Amino acid sequence: MKEITIIGAGLAGSLSALMFANRGFKVTVFEKRPDMRKEEISAGRSINLALSERGISALKRAGIDEDVLNEVMPMSGRLIHSISGEKSLQPYSGREGDCINSVSRGGLNMKLMDAAEATGKVTFEFGVGCKRIDFDNNTLTIENDNKELKQVKFETIIGSDGGGSYVRLAYQLGGVRRFNFSQQFLDHGYKELVIPPTEDGGFRIANDALHIWPRGTFMMIALPNLDGSFTCTLFMPFEGKNGFEDLDSEEKVQSFFEEYFPDVLQHMPTLMEDFFTNPHDKLGTIKCFPWAIGDKALLIGDAAHAVVPFYGQGMNASFEDCRVLDELLDKHNDDFALTYAEFEQVRKANADAIGDLAVQNYYEMRDHVAHKDFQIKRDIEVDLEKTTNYNSKYSLVTFCDNVGYAEAKKRGELQDEFLLDLIDKGEHVGKSSNEILELINKNIKV
């Protein structure tokens, strides 16, 4: 039976280690950071993440969904904060119980590593980074914290080392002929800020929604944490007015928040410290192909398809990779060459679709959610979902794990176009949900 070598013990690497172990494989995972269960380290990019259906169904396949769902904060919609302080809740769906879940990145990662280790088949080696890969001779060069290099043999490698993947770089550096790669950064970056709990450990703002302060060229969002705090993420341009570089003094930050986020400023007592201590980081989309080298190597997760975070799907898509990989191993009786080949064929179009949707949603979140037609469309869609089997684009992406991202994008975009046109002409007025659904079904063929 093959031994599996995984590079990167992040979210995708740890879940796939667990799934390979559940199939009986022996797995070694090399992770360049220290063990986060023993040392206090920042878990990585964002403190919390929105976990939704695709992610949950992968966790279910690995048998760890209940454990994870015991420690999440469900969010049923977007709570939009206008500049004048008015709030409006836009439910994510019209269906009872449809929600996305705020989960701690570090907590989730540690649970996955614990579960993988508990199988007795997975060994994690921390503080060990992948430096070179010789695909011809199945040899991997790893480096420990003391900068000592060691060569190890591998049978098959899973490259789950994130957006800055070294495994992907080894493909580029000659592992794969005609390797296609593109990286597209946004002009905008992000910085994490905090709304701490009240003195008695309570929540300062509603804890059952994802808060959004859309402000045109920039926006802030906040997701609740179990301890009563919220992690806020400020998205804004790097340069220019109301950009990170412009906000270079406490006075400027104070007056910026007073002008644009007056209702939340009182809840951010550590704003200045957070703003000037926490880094701001870039956001980008990575597309590449191929992902597989015969039965020797496969890229999964952000290493294969990093996406910007505006659909809350990067981790969910990475977990879906793990689920599909496991299903294909079933289908092909653990034949790795056949599995890897089909994996990249079925996943590539879906990964491209969620990458594009995530960029589009940036504009929707920071701008359109506050527009009247968008709100009318959302109201119509919520009513449709309450009374019929309709799914909005958001629902197709977020709640329908039986529909691929590519199909969700295509169908969702046609629906959006049709409904916005109907609203524009005023033809939605006086029509029941069933009548609107009939029109949609008549006019949209996917």
Ligand X SMILES: Cc1cc2nc3c(=O)[nH]c(=O)nc-3n(C[C@H](O)[C@H](O)[C@H](O)COP(=O)(O)OP(=O)(O)OC[C@H]3O[C@@H](n4cnc5c(N)ncnc54)[C@H](O)[C@@H]3O)c2cc1C
CA gap 217, 4 in Å, rounded: 45
Q: Which of residues 225-254 bind ligand X (CB under 6 A)?
A: 233
Q: Shortest approach of ligand X to residue 176 CB, angstroms?
A: 17
| Binds ligand X by CB under 6 A, chosen from 162, 189, 214, 224 | 162
Rule CB under 6 A: is residue 344 a binding residue for ligand X? no
Which positions from 40 to 59 touch ligand X by CB under 6 A, shown as an x/- string?
A: ----xxx--xx---------
Whichever of 69 and 444 has its CB closer to ligand X, that residue is 69
Cα 16 from Cα 58, distance rounded (Å) = 10
Cα-based torsion angle of the residue sequence 54, 55, 58, 62 in order, rounded to the nearest 10 degrees: -160
CB 192 to ligand X: min, Å = 7
The amino acid occupying position 376 is I
Asked if 13 interacts with ligand X (CB under 6 A), we say yes
Near ligand X by CB under 6 A: residue from 20, 25, 135, 166: 166
State which of residues 12, 108, 247, 268 lies at the interface with ligand X (CB under 6 A): 12
Any contact of residue 309 with ligand X (CB under 6 A)?
yes
Please select the residue that binds ligand X; options are 6, 11, 358, 436, rule is CB under 6 A.
Answer: 11
Question: CA-CA distance, 304 to 368, in Å (whole number)?
Answer: 30
List Cα–Cα distances, 278 to 237, 270, 273, in angstroms: 16, 11, 8
Looking at 77, 94, 189, 301, which residue binds ligand X (CB under 6 A)? 301
Q: Which of 32, 215, 267, 296 is close enough to bind ligand X by CB under 6 A? A: 32
Nearest approach, Cβ of residue 7 and ligand X (Å): 5
Which of 33, 368, 386, 431 lies at the binding interface for ligand X (CB under 6 A)?
33
Query: What is residue 79's three-state secondary structure?
Result: strand
Is 36 a binder of ligand X (CB under 6 A)? no
Strands 26-31 and 122-126, bridge-based pairing: parallel
Backbone φ and ψ of 169, nearest 5°: -60, -40
Give the nearest distance from C-beta 238 to ligand X in angstroms.
15
Residue 111: CB minimum distance to ligand X, A: 14
Task: Report how far residue 226's alpha carbon sits from residue 68's, in angstroms, rounded to the nearest whole number.
Answer: 13
Nearest-approach distance from CB 270 to ligand X, in angstroms: 19
Over the window 59 to 88, marking each residue x when it contacts ligand X by CB under 6 A and - when it does not, the resulting string is: ------------------------------
207 contacts ligand X (rule: CB under 6 A)? no
Dihedral angle at the C-alpha atoms of 397, 54, 283, 204, nearest 10 degrees? Answer: 90
Asked whether position 132 contacts ligand X by CB under 6 A, the answer is no
Whole-number minimum distance, CB 6 to ligand X, in Å? 9
Using alpha carbons, list the distances in angstroms from residue 76 to 100, 207, 209, 433: 7, 10, 6, 22
Binding footprint of ligand X, residue count (CB under 6 A): 34
> Is residue 365 near ligand X by the rule CB under 6 A?
no
Strands 210-214 and 219-224: antiparallel
In contact, 4 and 20? CB cutoff 8 Å = yes
Part in contact with ligand X (CB under 6 A); list of ranges 156-164, 291-299, 354-362, 377-385: 156-164
Residue 108: closest CA among 28, 163, 37: 37
Q: Kindly state whether residue 30 participates in binding ligand X, applying the rule CB under 6 A.
A: yes
Contact 7, 13 (CB under 8 A): yes
Which range, of 26-34, 67-75, 338-346, 409-417, touches ligand X by CB under 6 A?
Answer: 26-34
Q: Residue 109: how many CA atoms within 13 Å on its side-chain side?
A: 27
Please report whether residue 130 would count as binding ligand X according to CB under 6 A.
Answer: yes
Q: With 0-12 CB in 10 A as exposed, 13-18 as middle and 19+ as buried, what is 446?
A: exposed
| Out of 5, 313, 361, 392, the residue judged to bind ligand X by CB under 6 A | 313
Picking from 139, 133, 222, the residue whose alpha carbon sits closest to that of residue 174 is: 133
Contacts with ligand X, residue ranges (CB under 6 A): 7-13, 30-33, 44-46, 49-50, 129-130, 160-162, 166, 190, 233, 301-303, 309, 312-316, 318
